[in-house]
Chains A and B, each alone.
Chain A
């Protein structure tokens, strides 16, 4: 199956390994990704918190191009998924807004394309049976906590990926890949990444609470689908541990990296060397790489 691919800015920079692993895993699972030509930034949180119109117009340009391609959109980044989806819903609900946006972006937009997070593509278009059938190195014995954060699951109506309080879809995918998922309370607690550069102290507190809970439930690593969650939980981890006077070391991985290992992709192609908390010692210990 073919989808319009919206990598987004993070996947071209700090979340490079999410991009690489997404592309590899998709190839393996028969998902054909065609990059949206000359896509532009979706505006992240900055656009919609300062201008309601800009917050819709920036994502809408990309939706309009995808519509010209005649393809539904796959957006691995939680923030991009959220913004593209929010713009789509707002224009669906408000005909006048759609007209204004069409005028602003100077393109036609009919609301024809769907926006899917990559995890949803794997669940509903590939299917977990197909994932199970393709396993080469099941992630047996690896205990992980799936962390969803805010943008993938909230608010309902704007995004419809999963339950806002107790989402399970990433858990399902990782379980199909052979992993052992811990049941924990902080799956959707905000990690404060939007405050990472502006209110670092606050952000370190939130990161600490989340990691502490995951560690207490016996998780050995965190899996996520959000570049901001990944960066934040990974890079602020040492500060958070110091503040809490403990020393957890929990690698924070994209679900596509671990799925890639399970599907037998060479470890060297999954960007495992680009994390602050190095996941390789743990993966070696488990005999996975």
Chain B
């Protein structure tokens, strides 16, 4: 039988962890729904920010790690600036995303691309020190199989000289590589 007390106990620890990472106190939430009401992407979410808060309050926060919403969230901070209880709601969404990543949760197929783009982006910065935009767009196409998407847009941009064809590499590349390594060491090699 499910030991509800134990589950909730572990869940509380998880809530504490999220509170700590987001530098906030989820228990202050009084479920007014202002966050979900003002969220531009609420209409596309499975569990809105208000519900996420409730899950965390009741020690069921790990449920939220499976939600599509933590990947759909555009980190626009509208919820955070409007919360009457001054909770860092967007920070909580972000902390959940980081946790889902760390714990190897399967990312819902519909939002898999968010993760792919993030990885391509961070890889590009690690290699060159700066972003190579054309490389990102190409990488996305290769990794998602959507080869034709946005070609209509890419070509005029290329012609206008907006997307450079080669990455700009900074001189301090070794320094950037060291920064990535040290971060990985300190964070416990999660990537």
Q: Give A residues with C-beta under 8 Å from B.
A: 9-10, 12-14, 16, 38-41, 43-54, 57-58, 61, 100, 103-106, 150, 154-156, 164-165, 188-190, 192-195, 197-200, 202, 205-206, 235, 273-274, 276
Contacts and interface: CB of A to CB of B under 8 A. Distances in A.
Which 7 residue pairs are nearest across A and B when measured between Cβ atoms? Answer: A190-B76, A154-B77, A198-B113, A9-B131, A46-B121, A150-B76, A40-B129
Given A12-B130, A192-B41, A273-B160, 5 more contacts: A50-B118, A50-B191, A155-B80, A155-B81, A197-B140
Interface stretch (B1-9, B51-59, B175-183): B175-183
Given A154-B80, A190-B74, A192-B74, A16 B161 contact: yes
Nearest to A14: B162
Interface stretch (B11-19, B26-34, B164-172): B164-172
Contacts of B153: 235, 276
A189 to B, nearest CB: 6
Contacts of A104: 179, 182-183, 186
Interface residues of B, number: 61
A156 B97 contact: no
A49 B162 contact: no
18 contacts: A14-B157, A40-B129, A41-B130, A44-B121, A44-B131, A47-B122, A49-B118, A50-B101, A54-B122, A61-B172, A104-B183, A104-B186, A106-B178, A155-B90, A156-B81, A195-B114, A199-B111, A274-B160
Of listed A12, A47, A197, residue having the most chain B CB within 10 A: A197
Contacts of A12: 130, 164, 168
B21 interface: yes
Given A49-B118, A51-B183, A14 B163 contact: yes
Chain B interface helix/strand/loop/mixed? helix
B84 interface: no
Interface in B102-134: 111, 113-114, 116-118, 121-122, 125, 129-131, 133-134
A49 B73 CA distance: 11
B156 interface: yes
Contact of B72 (A155, A202, A235): A202
Contacts of A57: 179, 182-183
B180 A52 contact: no
B98 interface: yes
Contacts of B179: 54, 57-58, 61, 104-105
Nearest to B124: A41
A212 B157 CA distance: 25
Contacts of B72: 195, 199, 202
B137 interface: yes
- Tell me which of B43, B78, B137 has the highest count of chain A C-beta atoms within 10 A of its own C-beta: B78
Nearest to B88: A155
A61 B172 CA distance: 10
Contacts of B163: 13-14
B137 A43 contact: no
Contacts of A105: 175, 179
Nearest to B97: A49
A57 B185 CA distance: 14
A12 B40 CA distance: 30
Contacts of B147: none
A65 to B, nearest CB: 9
B43 to A, nearest CB: 8
B114 A199 contact: yes
Contacts of A43: 122, 125
B178 A155 contact: no
